[in-house]
Structure formats: C-alpha cells, structure tokens
Chains A and B, each alone.
Chain A
Amino acid sequence: MKPMKKKLTAALAGNPNSGKTTLFNELTGSRQHVGNYPGVTVERKEGSCRYGGVELQIVDLPGSYSLTAYSAEEWVARNFIVNEKPDVVVDILDASNLERNLYLAVQLMELGAPLVLVFNMSDMARARGFEFDLEKLSRFFGAQIVETVGHKGVGIKELLSAAVTTAQQNGSGGTRPFVLDYGREIEAELSKITALIQAHGRVKGNYSARWLAVKLLENDKELKASVAAPEVHEQAARSAERIEKITGETPETVMAGRRYGYISGACQEAVRSTIEIRRTISDRIDSVATNRVLGLPVFLGLMYLVFQLTFTVGDPFMGWIEKAFGWLGGMVEGWWPEGSGSLLKSLLVDGVIGGVGGVVVFLPNILLLFLAIAILEDSGYMARAAFIMDRLMHKIGLHGKSFIPMLIGFGCSVPAIMATRTLENRRDRLATMLVAPLMSCGARLPIYALIIPAFFPEAWHAPMLWIIYLIGILLAVVSAKMLRSTLLRGESVPFVMELPPYRMPTLKGILIHMGERGGLYLRKAGTIILGLSIVLWAMTAFPRLPEEEVAHFEAARQAVAAGMATEQEKVESLAAIGNEEGEAALKHSIAGRVGYAMEPILKPMGFDWRIGTALIGAFAAKEVFVAQMGIVYSVGEADEESETLRDKLKSAYNPLIGFCIMLFCLVSAPCMATIAVTKRESNSWRWALFQLAGLTALAWALTVLVYQIGRAGGIGS
C-alpha cells in the first residue's frame, strides 16, 4: 500500500446552477485565487482547505452539462480532469433535479475518474417530496454520496471526509472506468473502433481506448484531432453511419438516450417521489417575469433599479474618493514651495495621483454595479433577462445575453466588457465587446454638460442629450450587424439556455463575487493605467517651456506683485498669468505639438489644435477633455459648470462644431482603460487595436460628414 498523501487535488465539477460555486466558497472561504485558463477567457478558480491533516487544493471547474466539449467551459472542465488528473472529482448535483444532473456523473464514471457525488440542495429536494436510497444509489454510481445544503454549510465535513477517503483509495488502488452497456449494435461498433485504436498504438491521454472510442463515435472534434491513424477515423465514420441507418438518429443522441436510460433505471429503484408538484414557486414567478406582456416592463423596472443603485448610491462615495485624492494631491503638493515648477511634483500630483485617482473614482460604481449583477445572476433572473431580450438582440445579430453588457455600457465600458463573459460564443462575445463603448458612458456626460449649454438654447438641452445617446445606440446596432455579417460572420449560437430555479442569493457569494471584480479593476488601475497616465502626463509636460519664456512670465508676476493694485486684483492678475503660462506650456509640449500636427485631419471636422490636444487627454479618460479645454483656453481648473470656459467656446466655435465635438467624443477612441480591458478579455491586442482604430475611423468619417454637410447647408456659419 502506498503511503497516504498529505496534499490532494480535488476538482469540483457539476452542472451550471447546481450550487457548485456556493459550495466552493463554503469550502475555501476567502482562501481562493481567480485566474484564467491559458488561451481561453474562462475563469480558473482555486482555493485550499485542510481536513484531518490533509491539505486539499480545490479547483472549481466551470459548470458543464457533459464531458463532450460543447462550450469553452466544458472543454476546460474536461481537459482539466483528463490531463491534470485530480486525486478526486467531486461532482455537485442539484438533488431536486437529479436525473439531468446525473448525466455528467455517468460520463465521469465512464472516464474512470475517482468520484464523489454530492447531492446539494437536499433540503429543497426533500421539500419537493424526493426520498433517496443513498446506499442503493451509491452502488449504482460506484461512488460515495454525500447530502449537503450549500448555503447553510450543511454536510461540508462529510463532503471533505468522502473526498479524502476516495482520493486515498484512488491513490492505493485506482478506479476502474465504469462500462455502460450501449446496446448490441453500438457495442459491436465500439469494439471495432476500440480494437483499431489499440492496434494503432497506445492511447495518448489518461483514458481508456473504449472511452476514446465512445467520444469518437459521438463526433468529438477535439479528440478526433488527437487521433492520427486514418483507419480509426474511417471506422468511426462507418460506425456512425451504420448506427444512424439502424436507429434513424445520430450516435450522440442514441448514446445520450442510453445514459439517461441507465439513470432513470437507477432512479426508479432508489428515488421515491412522494408528492407531485406540477408548478413550482419558480414557475409562478416566471409566469410574470417571462410573461409576454409583463416581462418587458418588469425587466425595464429592474434595470432602472440597477442604474439607480449604481449611480445614485455610488455618488457620495465617489465624492469621498475624489476628495481623498484631492487631499492626497494637495498634501504632496505641499512638499514643495508654492508655485514651484518642480517636475517631480507635477509627475506625482498631475500624473500619478490625478491619473490613478481618475480611475479609482469609479470604483464605487463598479462595485455597486457588480453587486447588482451578482444579485441578478445568483437569483437566477439574469437568464430570464436574456430570454426576454433574445428576440430583439437576435435581429441585430447578437445574442439575448449581449443585452446586459450593452446596458452596463451606459455606466462604464470597462465593466460592460467584463460582463461579456457570460456569452459562450466567441463571435457573439467579440461583437458585443467591440460595440459596447458606443453606449455613451458616464465619463462622457461632463463633455455634453459643458458643450450643450454653451451652444444650444435651454429648450434644446434635454433633446440634444437624447439625440447623442440615441446616435450611440443606433451606431452600436448598425456596427454589431455589420461585424456579424463580415469579420465575425457565422451562425449565431442557437438560443438554448437553462432557466435555473429562482434562489435567494447568499451574502457570502455576492460579496466574494463583487470583491473579485473590484480587485481586478483596482489591479488594472495600479498597473496599466498608472503607466499610461505617466505617459500622457509626460506628453503634456515635455518639452518644457524655454528658460526665457519662464522668466518672462516670472517677470510679469513680479510686476503684478510690486504694482499698486488691490489684493483682489493682484490675485486675479496672477491667476491670469498662470493660465497664460499653462496655455503656452501646453502649446509647447508634445501633446500641443501633436495637436498642431493633427490639424490637417482635424480641419475637415471643424476642429483646431486646441480641441486636438484636449482629445489626446480624453484618451486617458473621457472627462479629461473638459479639464484639458480649460487649460488650452487659459481658464485654469475648469469643470463642466464653468461659464468662463463656455463663453470662450462660444466665441471660438459655432453650434455645428459643438455638436461635432460631442459626436466625435461619443464615437471615437474609447478610453485607455477600455482598450486595456478589451485586450485582456479578448486575449489579443489585435481586437483591442481594431476597436481603437475602427471606432476612431468611424468617428472621424461621421464627424466630417456631419460638419461638411452642415457647413454646406449653412448651419452654424
């Protein structure tokens, strides 16, 4: 007998909505780590816990219905079990929907994985009148069975005990794969394929020749590619054809039927249903939530609540963070004498604190938004939302689930792009990701708030804002449709989705969910955004004004100080000089020069170098546009309420240009945080840069079109 292992790996497998994640949280608490599986954007969650002197490394596999890799999640789950060979696979089942959940268990048995079955939500199952003969079931499925109630922590000890003993047994003897009888015809074909596989050398992976034969017959693309011998492929194709001829169905359907046959046989013997419930509470909620008439209003109402929560509740927190960063900036500034032109001071205050602060300020919104999403997801409503929106989204070539990210986009593109994770199909997901920034985000609002009152009469203010938002939505719809029929062409995944029963979300689950997302966001602020902020700061700070110019402003200052004006006038004149110096410095800097250099492309849109320079700032974060305009127009610290800045704009531009600025800011280059997150979520710089270039080109073309037509029509001149 081998010595007992002190460190074991346990994989948690199970259907989506079987309560797997709740159990994982219960097992590992906060000792978890989230990463990505290499090459795919499927989250890899790991955690650890101790039980009886054994250290358990627990991996929460993505939810899957079967081991035939249909989605990225299932592919990942299967490969983990096959390749990394965990010491034990703990299959979590929703005990109130046992037959469907046992399908994965049967496949795990066939694979020969050391298995523990967990009948989760057993309290719910009992309430629905199910009685299990666990001993019998345990024999049928060749595994220890444990009953748990995940959100109450019931049965966790038993689960761990069963996992450890199964793993230790596996270490000392090994588990023999279960052989399911597929019936005479299929068995005959399976043995032919198995024989050929064995004749052509050993099986590469950690599975039996029979298992491979089963998967080949089921037409598993990935495993097919792993077999080199053409004879095996030919036999598999012949066998599949024969089975189709005899049964009139594809092998995968017939074989699934056999598995379900085994399951229902076992359940007839060992599961008793004492009461017949035709309509569950979930069904009753659904009769409203998915109702053809009421479904949409309920959905819109909930979305309104999400927005309210995100933006009104978040506001005071944002204010505090802004204040905190302002205070921090002020404190750091205090390290230098007043009016000091120290580069280090500027780097720390304007570059680092200003840049990172500008991103961290959205953290309350992001946390609240993810709180709301976590509640919607964990309660089961999210699936209903996708169900309701599917028809509409389908028309523009997207999936019902695309709606959620696009809606979140009105708040901020970063969480919106992160929310595309719920989309299984890569093309659907990419298309959604690429158009999400067209949903006018909260950071663009200050730009509109500055421009609209400057150029348009009071009565036009609200309609103007609506028009801008509407243009964004229309462009998103058109772009999505175009992407899905060109670059991302391909069948939209047919809509098949389980609507899980409604459940009360657990506080722990929601907090962990929210914390994870918030952490990711903060980490980004600390790395990529910090770096880019410094670059953008350097662009506006270098090269510095030549000595003689600085001296010139200094002399002007001294003249004022020595002059006869009142204190009040002196402060004003000094501020004016400071602003003038700021403008001169910006003009002299790389950003200013780039703005100048860009004039030829800016001209057709009616923009000058000043707007160009502000647009560069807007790339860091959209709302920086306003502050940057303040600097180029020498009004100093400007915000969207600045009347002075509005007056300056009014005298320099006309309403047509004002509209063009808003249009360009709406469509063009999403901010760098968006680009960074697109890169991370799409796993490629290519799509991130495509998004950047595509949206900017679209913005330019549209703005030129509007400006030129407008000018020809005599508007604004």
Chain B
Amino acid sequence: MPLSVVQAGRRVRVVAVDAGHGLEGRLAALGLAPGEEIEVLRNGLDGPFLVAVKGSRLALGRGMAQKIRVA
C-alpha cells in the first residue's frame, strides 16, 4: 500500500520507492530505502507527511508519500 494511506502512529516497512532516478538516491541517502522501518508521525490527509526514519524526522509532500510503497 502507498505510504499516503497509513495512519499516524503506525510503524511500517518500506517495500519500494518509485520516485525515479536522482530522487530515489536522495531518499535513500536520507534513509528512506526498501527494508527500512519507519513510523508515521502525522498524516496530513491533504497536506504533507511527517515520518520518523533512522532517528530523524522527514517531511514528505503528499505526492511523495504516494510513491512510497510500504507494508
């Protein structure tokens, strides 16, 4: 399922990131790569997303959250 439907407070594992070249590398550098366990801190519904990855907090645009598949 896309990250965008995950509710705040849930921990999920990243399955795949379909963001295209360049951006995928950047996300991976930030720790957002397949296999990584992340926690959704805030799901803005129509606004941006807040997730906890590797001890840091990342804000993701809604479009971005749709491109990240989690389980």
Contact = CB atoms under 8 A, between A and B. Distances in A.
A377 interface: no
Interface residues of B, number: 38
B55 A96 contact: yes
Contacts of A394: 61
Nearest to A261: B35
Interface residues of A, number: 42
Majority secondary structure of chain B interface residues (helix, strand, loop or mixed): mixed
A496 B24 contact: no
Contact of A100 (B31, B35, B48): B31
A143 to B, nearest CB: 20
A448 interface: no
A206 interface: no
B10 interface: no
Contacts, number: 125
A250 B21 contact: yes
B46 A290 contact: no
Nearest to B26: A70
Contacts of A500: 56-57
Interface string B44-70: 111110100111111111111000000
A579 interface: no
A248 B53 CA distance: 22
A66 B30 CA distance: 9
A292 B56 contact: no
Contacts of A307: none
Interface in A285-315: 286, 290, 292
B21 A496 contact: no
Contact of B22 (A70, A99, A249, A391): A70
A219 B54 contact: no
Contacts of A290: 42, 50
B50 A499 contact: yes
27 contacts: A70-B26, A97-B54, A218-B25, A250-B24, A250-B25, A252-B24, A253-B24, A253-B25, A253-B34, A256-B33, A257-B28, A260-B36, A282-B57, A283-B57, A290-B42, A387-B50, A388-B47, A390-B59, A391-B48, A494-B19, A494-B23, A494-B63, A497-B59, A498-B56, A498-B58, A499-B56, A500-B57
Query: Across chains A and B, which 10 residue pairs bring their CB atoms closest together, nearest first?
Result: A495-B61, A256-B28, A252-B25, A66-B29, A97-B55, A499-B57, A391-B47, A65-B29, A100-B54, A387-B59
Given A252-B21, A252-B24, 8 more contacts: A99-B54, A249-B34, A250-B25, A256-B33, A282-B57, A391-B48, A494-B63, A499-B56
Interface of A: 65-66, 68, 70, 96-100, 103, 218-219, 221, 248-250, 252-253, 256-257, 260, 282-283, 286, 290, 292, 383, 386-388, 390-391, 394, 400, 494-501
